[in-house]
Structure 1
């Protein structure tokens, strides 16, 4: 009688590791992008609060640790296990460290997104608590996957054990649900923030909505692809490379959003030529641009006087006060006036 094990041929090195090595190479490129974005962020982060700067530094540090462990894992699979199929079939300890560092990155990034939803929704608990519960469940299943992998000791046992398979599929499912819900909540809340009066602010909000939807959709698709490749490609470690890539996507989405926000803020605050800065009052800056005209608008001038009076009152409840909020120029005796409030964003 033929040996049953002989009917299942051993996968070749290219089948087993080809897709994983390619995705790891792509993830290393993303780490370079993350480092560049972190550098750009700190060049333009004067208005941000210290805790946001600490968040960015923490994400980059965990990304660096994650990348170093990924290189250790790749070295084990390609160099140490070269010509040794038995060693190649084993799960190295570096995989568990990778999962822990990735969980920390996911907790920071998605926790930040949920916090922004909490602020935008005016601290609506019924909206944010379910997101927190889903995020905790997702992180728990990711950590349990790492534990099952280290206990299984081999890739074959890991992929054919019910507990580990269930943990992987649940982690991917919760990941897709959380990413999709965060993107939808951000889109709805930002849409309600549109005023219809200030086209510059509305353009910024529309851009942030599009960015949130795109990044959430990409992360959700990657999670679904991980579940599919894990279930259908039993002779390939492509799903491992995609899991490694996931952490890079989250770090890049956070830094990309922060850097793009600063860029859009600069564009929104861009004025005509001839800008003259006046003394500041309570962190507020008054700017005057020369703009000759013969038009005089009495009502708009009264509104300007009101804002100038409030400028010295110490009221700091709003992030930006702009006389141009109606979309019309404020013109009086050849002078164009604009008032701005400069605060750190949430």
Structure 2
């Protein structure tokens, strides 16, 4: 048994280390179930649109999320089942743990890029300075992601993770900063897109609430990981929190895509009720033809002059087929970004 293993065994507490990772995997599995529900809901509500960019993005995020879950489950299975009671194996970092860091970075970076693309779409017709700035910030974070992956792959034992705490702080701090930038940018663009109509402004307000809530959720998770890493560097609680981070980012983006569908039934109900009301308000000339003739006879008695076009007009009115005239009003529903 190596000296590093002997140094680790007296300090090893399975509850705060691999027990925390096990709990993190359980919660991550629950979040993956929520991802499946949101992805299924998106495909059901957009099944008639064909293959679009958003459809491919949802499919790609789901595949990465499933792969990330597989890797963290393999990691826990390797330590708690395959190497059960093998204390020396608990000190080494398995390959699936390192690979899940790469998938984690790809998910977070991909979601940030998709958010930047949404900002570009929302800013259509406005100044492009804000979306370009957000895009540049997102691209620059790729350097932080690469440095984090490189630092993790240099570690061979869990005790080496304490030496690269700087990479954890840098990566999570950058992620939180980008979350704030993206959420504030989207809220600003949506706020400036208000139309003055109460129904449309209400939907915009709800979308802003969705963006703020999901942005705060991912930022809080990142800050909890930073705090636990600083307060308990020898425990794996911060690693279990990082297991949840990728799941939260996928769910936050899917929630933004599904938000218009969540809000659509309310607007559709109003439009449908208005259309039904208009369909019931049918004008029937045969019910009013007698009143029109009475008004015409009274007007002829009071008039001093009689125009020749009046007779033709009365004949034309009497020749109108006695059928209802149905007026249908169609309104286009608001579709948000």
Do Structure 1 and Structure 2 share a fold, with TM-score over 0.5?
yes
- CA positional deviation for 1:119: 2.1
- CA positional deviation for 1:202: 1.0
| Matching residue within 316, 320, 337 for 2:329 | 337
Alignment check: 8 A CA contact 1:47 1:345 kept? no
Mapped to 1, the partners of 2:274 and 2:189 lie a distance apart of 37
Match of 2:119? Answer: 117
SS in 2 for 1:15: coil
Match of 2:301? Answer: none
- CA positional deviation for 1:275: 4.6
Match of 1:207? Answer: 206
Match of 2:148? Answer: 145
- CA positional deviation for 1:124: 4.1
Alignment check: 8 A CA contact 1:91 1:150 kept? no
Structure 1 outlier segments of 4+, above 6 Å:
5-8
Match of 2:71? Answer: 69
- CA positional deviation for 1:9: 4.5
Residues 105, 191 of structure 1: CA spacing in aligned structure 2 closer, same or farther, 3 A cutoff?
same
TM-score, normalization by structure 1? 0.75
Match of 1:217? Answer: 216
- CA positional deviation for 1:334: 8.0
Matched, 1:127 2:130: yes
- CA positional deviation for 1:216: 0.6
Residue by residue over 1:181-213, the C-alpha shift from the partner in whole angstroms, topping out at 9 and shown as x without a partner, is 1111111111111122x2211111100000100
SS in 2 for 1:53: helix
Residues 341, 202 of structure 1: CA spacing in aligned structure 2 closer, same or farther, 3 A cutoff?
closer
Match of 2:57? Answer: 55
Count of aligned positions: 289
- CA positional deviation for 1:151: 1.7
Mapped to 2, the partners of 1:95 and 1:334 lie a distance apart of 67
Residue by residue over 1:139-181, the C-alpha shift from the partner in whole angstroms, topping out at 9 and shown as x without a partner, is 433343233223210111121x2xx222111101100100011
Counterparts of 1:228-239 in structure 2 under 5 Å?
228-239=227-238
Mapped to 2, the partners of 1:267 and 1:81 lie a distance apart of 55
Counterparts of 1:175-190 in structure 2 under 5 Å?
175-190=175-190
Larger radius of gyration, structure 1 or 2?
Answer: 2
Matched, 1:290 2:290: no
Counterparts of 1:19-168 in structure 2 under 5 Å?
19-45=20-46, 46-47=48-49, 50-122=52-124, 124-159=127-162, 161=163, 164-168=164-168
Matched, 1:268 2:264: no
Mapped to 1, the partners of 2:51 and 2:194 lie a distance apart of 24
Mapped to 2, the partners of 1:336 and 1:157 lie a distance apart of 71
Alignment check: 8 A CA contact 2:210 2:259 kept? no
- CA positional deviation for 1:71: 1.0
Mapped to 1, the partners of 2:8 and 2:225 lie a distance apart of 27
Residue by residue over 1:32-54, the C-alpha shift from the partner in whole angstroms, topping out at 9 and shown as x without a partner, is 11011111111101358611111
- Long gaps (5+) in structure 1: 277-287, 295-332
Mapped to 1, the partners of 2:51 and 2:215 lie a distance apart of 25
Alignment check: 8 A CA contact 1:187 1:209 kept? yes
Residues 249, 292 of structure 1: CA spacing in aligned structure 2 closer, same or farther, 3 A cutoff?
same
Mapped to 1, the partners of 2:207 and 2:336 lie a distance apart of 14
- CA positional deviation for 1:13: 0.8
Mapped to 2, the partners of 1:47 and 1:190 lie a distance apart of 25
